Chains A and B, each alone.
Chain A
Amino acid sequence: MEEPRDGRSLSRPQLGDVPDAASGSPCASIEGVFRRSSTDRVLTGVAGGLGERLQIDPVVVRLAFVVLTFAGGVGLLLYIAAALVSRKPDPDTQPPQPTTSTRQAIAIALVLTGVLLALRGIGLWLGDGIVWPAALVVLGSAVIWTRGDEATRARWLARMPRGIRDEAESRPGLRTLVGALVIALGAWAFFSSNPPLDVFGNAPLAVATVLIGIAVIAGPGIWRLVRQASDERRERIRQEERAEMAAHLHDSVLQTLALIQRTEDPNEMVALARGQERELRTWLYGRTKPGGDGSLSAALDAVAVEIEQAHRTRIEIVMVGDCPLDDGVRALVHACREAFVNAARHSGARGVSAYVEVEDDQVTAYVRDQGVGFLRAAVSNDRRGIAESIEGRMERNGGVAVIESSPGQGTEVRLRIPRSRAT
């Protein structure tokens, strides 16, 4: 239990909370830990999270890990370390997708080169013939994969001579082409510096190289399509939800408001507003009963709605626990109904409150009004509501009914029924 026991801990920030990436400065360091990304992930969301935190395109972060992995596995170790110190993603926030400016890209490339040279110096190295070509392939991938910063792009285009600019604007594939050339160069460098792997004399190897090349070049396009499809789906679901809510509000709340405006009788208005409130509450808080439709709470709610509409009396039910309906519990519901009707008809009170508690061995109910009350002796025997519908019904089912009332003191009907053990 992480909660400190001072009782005021519910919304206290937890250790390691960092401000949103969106509000931090672009060069904010990783203070303590960062969150893995829930939205932008290939493996675990580590690179996505780092990218969000550092405001760098996650693609660049991923590629940096790849390059460093070639340098004696350093990248892999770093990745695992980053995964260990990161926190699980926060599903509620969706930080804006960071883009990389040219400046940032050059800076990262220089830093990576420096790190590679340093690693080469201390001997964490697979050999010049592997790491440098790999770095070239990664550079080409970076050119293809990263999302361009539109502002930088526009600035670059503006600086170019007119001919090239027109060319660049009419050829959005230019970026891909440049990237592909760099990747091809990397592949060529790899095979030419590793003579035993003669790609031209080895058909499977040649095919594999081409396939990997195509995957690297076409991957981002496919990836983007997949993401786009899932974004569209999410948006569609959101719109459907909004439409459903609008439809519901229209059918219920707006209709009721229109009715209220046309109504003259204040009691009628109150009843309409009350009925609508109950309906809206059920819908908003989705108070589906744990026991489903066949439960005590659902049955009591139904009774309350019925009596409220028929008698214009507010009925407030507080429930503790719930249970399925059986004969005894059903008798209790009927007795409650009768008590509601009596209170609504005779007490003169504005509202009736009921408290129902379900325990392991019994169900108790208290129906109370603050109305005029009555003397039991003064009620004629031919009014069978109390005697038959409440007391008789409870007794037949093995329960008890006690009615407490005196003039001016209101009335309380107390009901108790044992629960059958069979079910």
Chain B
Amino acid sequence: MIRVFLVEDHELFASGVRNELGEEFELVGQASSVAQAVIEIPGAEPDVVLLDVHLPDGNGPEIVDALPDVRFLALSVSDAAEDVIAVIRAGARGYVTKSISPPELADAIRRVHEGDAVFSPRLAGFVLDAFAGQTVPAIDPELDQLTPREKEVLRYIARGYAYKEIARELHISVKTVESHVGGVLRKLQLTNRYELSRWASERKLA
């Protein structure tokens, strides 16, 4: 059984998630604030932490920052660019919105547990948008640009394709799709590309 810890301050939503988790997952703990989460997560030894991005005493990225060895899947009502990018940059392995269907959520938890990245179509769109401007030369091409293949995979995710469907369309294995998405996640977290910060702040201003 996959051990899941839930960080969520809306009890109504939390109880909904508890009901949906079902047989395959074991809920090993729940916290409703940053302070509580940082204290209780290490003791509960979860495989995956489901993380609300906005909490009463702070934001999700603080928790991700404080616990570098834990796998986080961000789960939020917000699809604002700065929220998505901030939590991914802090080290979360995926971002899905709360409107996600129960089977999709289960699939996302499983994927994060296996060490893969989970990109919602919207997150894929954000990444493509953020890495789109090619006018400024990249400082570090290895990290600051997406490969054509990674772009292709992201476009399929943005179009709503599942990994299996992408693999079929591109005639590659699901593992290869996963490794491309993992590569994008790594670049997203490691790049200090000027464009990315500027893009996120512009989105915030707009």
Q: Which of A's residues lie within 8 Å of B, judged by CB?
A: 1, 3, 5-8, 10-12, 281, 285-290, 316, 318-321, 353, 355, 357, 366, 368, 370, 412
Contacts and interface: CB of A to CB of B under 8 A. Distances in A.
Interface residues of B, number: 30
B158 A11 contact: no
B35 interface: no
Contact of A355 (B121, B132, B191): B121
Contacts of B65: 8, 10-12
B86 A318 contact: no
Given A357-B155, A368-B160, A318 B125 contact: yes
A320 B190 contact: no
Nearest to B158: A355
Nearest to B68: A8
B32 interface: no
B189 A321 contact: no
Interface in B14-49: none
Q: Which of A6, A8, A320 has the most CB of B within 10 A?
A: A320
Contacts of B159: 353, 355, 366, 368, 412
B5 to A, nearest CB: 20
A290 B194 contact: no
Contacts of A370: 160
Q: List 4 A-B pairs, minimum CB-CB distance, nearest first.
A: A318-B125, A7-B189, A353-B160, A355-B159
B61 interface: yes
B94 interface: no
B124 interface: yes
A291 B158 CA distance: 22
Interface string B174-206: 000000000000000111101000000000001
Interface in B120-175: 121-122, 124-125, 128-129, 132, 143, 155, 158-160
Contacts of A288: 206
Contacts of B61: 10-11
A353 B129 contact: no
24 contacts: A3-B192, A5-B192, A7-B89, A8-B65, A8-B68, A8-B91, A8-B189, A10-B61, A11-B62, A11-B65, A11-B90, A290-B206, A316-B121, A318-B121, A320-B158, A321-B132, A355-B121, A355-B155, A355-B158, A355-B159, A366-B159, A368-B160, A370-B160, A412-B159
Nearest to A12: B65
A5 B125 CA distance: 24
Given A7-B91, A316-B122, A357-B158, 19 more contacts: A5-B190, A7-B189, A7-B191, A10-B61, A10-B65, A10-B90, A285-B80, A289-B206, A320-B129, A320-B132, A320-B158, A321-B129, A321-B132, A355-B121, A355-B159, A355-B160, A366-B159, A368-B160, A412-B159
A320 B89 CA distance: 20
Nearest to B134: A360
Nearest to A1: B192
A355 B128 CA distance: 11
Contacts of A10: 61, 65, 86, 89-90
Contacts of A12: 65
